[in-house]
């Protein structure tokens, strides 16, 4: 069992780390993070660290999740959100409380299946999980107000710029394989502006599907 105190301690720490958006803090307080990791790691689920979720991947650190959600929201609720790198589905569950509808793309099929199962077991019904390479995702009909990339890279995958709605926001960790900066990209018409924020460490963004 994970106590309520353990969960609230994570929220207190996020406040100390500078997270100010109360809607994000409430969403993070409401999502049972321990259900997204293996049972043996449940007692560590609320520490400010990335933990293994199998297949060499990790559940993102709470701070990175909170900060990217705060940057995406900019104080407003989100209509359509897209996540690249769904992993165990944790950030998608947080986003589900901040957006009307969430699409998450995960390249490893077994993780996508597990995420689907965990999300449905906790009653999250506005997240669609797809098993695909997010760097290949494209659409002529849908554009997203908010896109979050949960894996690090050296550059922004060009297809994602095309998936941003006018006035949309994207948060992506950009930098070297060892460390990146959470970078906010905003779109106004055909112009894109980039601002770098906190230093973070994410698993690498890859190509192809497994």
Q: For residue 82, what are the β-bridge partners? A: 103, 147
The smaller minimum CB distance to ligand SAH, of residues 85 and 168, is found at 85
The CB-of-188 to ligand SAH minimum distance in angstroms stands at 26
Coil vs helix vs strand at 204 = strand
Out of 60, 64, 68, 191, pick the active-site residue: 60
The smaller minimum CB distance to ligand SAH, of residues 87 and 168, is found at 87
The CB-of-43 to ligand SAH minimum distance in angstroms stands at 18
- Is residue 60 part of the annotated active site? The answer reads yes
Coil vs helix vs strand at 132 = coil
What sign results for the dihedral spanned by CA atoms 94, 97, 98, 99?
A: positive
The CB-of-143 to ligand SAH minimum distance in angstroms stands at 18
The smaller minimum CB distance to ligand SAH, of residues 144 and 191, is found at 144
Binding site for ligand SAH (CB under 6 A): 57-60, 84-88, 90-91, 105-108, 111, 133-135, 150-151, 203, 205-207
Is 70:94 a contact under the CB 8 Å cutoff? no
Structure tokens at 166: 């006018």
Residue 36: exposure state from Cβ atoms within 10 A (0-12, 13-18, ≥19): buried
Query: Which residues are catalytically annotated?
Result: 60
């Amino acid at each position: 069992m994970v106590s309520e105190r353990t969960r609230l301690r994570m929220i207190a720490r996020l406040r100390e780390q500078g997270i100010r958006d109360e809607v994000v803090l409430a969403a993070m307080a409401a999502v049972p993070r321990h259900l997204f990791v293996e049972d043996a790691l449940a007692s560590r689920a609320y520490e400010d660290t990335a933990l293994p979720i199998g297949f060499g991947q990790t559940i993102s650190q709470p701070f990175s999740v909170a900060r990217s959600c705060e940057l995406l929201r900019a104080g407003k609720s989100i209509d359509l959100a897209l996540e690249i790198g769904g992993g165990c589905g944790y950030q998608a569950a947080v986003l589900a409380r901040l957006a009307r509808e969430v699409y998450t793309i995960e390249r490893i099929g077994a993780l996508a299946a597990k995420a689907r199962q965990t999300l449905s077991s906790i009653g999250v019904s506005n997240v669609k999980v797809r098993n695909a390479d997010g760097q290949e995702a494209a659409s002529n009909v849908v554009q997203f107000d908010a896109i979050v990339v949960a894996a690090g890279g050296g550059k922004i995958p060009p297809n994602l710029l095309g998936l941003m709605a006018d006035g949309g926001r994207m948060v992506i960790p950009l930098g070297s394989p060892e460390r990146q900066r959470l970078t906010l990209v905003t779109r106004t018409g055909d112009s894109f502006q980039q601002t770098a924020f906190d230093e973070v460490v994410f698993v690498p963004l890859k190509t192809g599907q497994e």
